[in-house]
Structure 1
Amino acid sequence: MPTPGDDARRYASMLAERADHRSVTAERLAGTADAVADLTETLVAVLAEAERPKFCFECGEGGVGFGDPDSTVTPERGGVYLITNRRVYVRLGVGDEDRSLSLPYGEIAGVRHRSGQRRHRIDLAVSGSRYYLWVSPEFDAGDVAEAAEYVSYRHTAETPDSGADDASSDESQSLRERLARLGDAKSRGLIDEEEFQHRKDELLDE
C-alpha cells in the first residue's frame, strides 16, 4: 500500500477519536497497522461522506466463508472488517488485488455471532447467501457480541415492520416502535448522541 498522506492520517485520527469502540484505531483506518499495511487501499479512502466507523476488526486466519463457514477465502496480505453507521465492509488482500464486499444494512436479513477460546465469528445472512467473518483472536467475545448487536440494531432500523390493515395506524405504530428502538439503542450505548439525533431526525422527516 502506498504510504498514506498527511490528510489521510489526520482524517483517520479524527474518525478514531470520535469512534466509541477501541477497535477503531487511526492505524487501521490509515493502513499502517500490520493487518492492513499490505492492502492496496486504505479504509479512509473507501468511506463515503458522513460515514462513521463503529467497529474495525482484523480478519482471522480462517478468512471469510462464502455460503459455508468452512468454504473460506483466506487473506494472503491481511484483511479487515469495518462496521460503520451505513454498512458492513470487508476487504481482503488476495493475490495481486484486494477483494472487497459492501453490505448495506437494508440488505442484511440476519446476524449471529459465535465465540470461542481461539477465534470468533460473525455470521451475516443476505438474500440468497451467507457470509461468515472469522475475527482475529486479538478481540474478545464481548467485542464481537457488541458488534453483532449493533449490526442487528442497524438492520432493524433500516427495515421497519410493515403490514396490517389500517395504513396510517400502521405507519404511526411503526414510527413509535422505531423511535422506541432508537432510544433503547442509545440507552444501551449502541449509538452515541450524535447518531441518535441524526436517526431521530430522519425518522421524523419520513
Structure 2
Amino acid sequence: DSYKPDLLLAEYELDDMDSVQLKQIVSEKFDLPIVLMSYAAKRKSIREQDPHIPIIHKPLRMEQLHETICMQLGLIESEGGASGTRHQQQLLAQEFPLRILVVEDNPINQKLAMRMLNKMGYEPEIAENGQEAVAKVQETAYDLIFMDVQMPVMDGLEATRIILQSHQHSRPPLIIAMTANAMQGDSDVCFEAGMKDYLSKPFRMSELRDLLIKYGKKLCAHEA
C-alpha cells in the first residue's frame, strides 16, 4: 500500500480487461499519468473509450517512448501548450541571447536538451564528450555550458578543469553540471571542479528555464 508509482505504462489488450478499464480502477487510488501501448489499428477504439489518454504505437521506438514519458511526467512540455506560453518561452532567448554548448554523450538526452532549448528560442551546439567540448571552447566563446558529468573519452569534471584553466586571462563560460546523481557529495565534487550549478537528470523544462534566467541576468548584466 505504501508503493506509489510515478506513471503507469500499460498494454491496451490485457487478459482480464482492457487498459482503459484498468485506468479507471487505478485512478480511484492513484493520481498518476497513464500511457497505453497499442497497435495503430486499435487507436480509434481506444479514442472512443477515452479521447484524451496518451497512446504509444507498437512496435515501440525508444525515442518516442522516452519523449512521451517525459511529457507525461512534466519534464518537457507538449506541443499542445498554449501559444502564449510558447511565445514567452521563445522570448527568453531574445531577452538573454546566450551562446550555449550542451555536452552529453547520450543521443536521446542530446535531443531532449536540444528540444527544450529550441522551445525557448536557443540554438545550442552539441559536444559528445569532454574532449570534444574542450576543442569547441577553443573555437567559440560560449556563455553557458551544460556539462554531463559521466562521459567516455573525457568526463565532465576533467573537461571543466581544462576549460577554466585555459581561461585564466579571459572570462570563462559558466558551466552547469548535468548529473544523474543527486546526492550532496556529488554536487560538492562538481563545485570543486569549478562548475557553478547543477541539474539533476531527468530535469524539468521549468528547472532549465530557471537556470537560464538566473545566469542569463548575470551574464547580460556583465556585458552591459
Instruction: Give TM-score, length-normalised by structure 2.
Output: 0.22
Q: Greater helix percent: which structure? A: 2
Higher strand share: 1
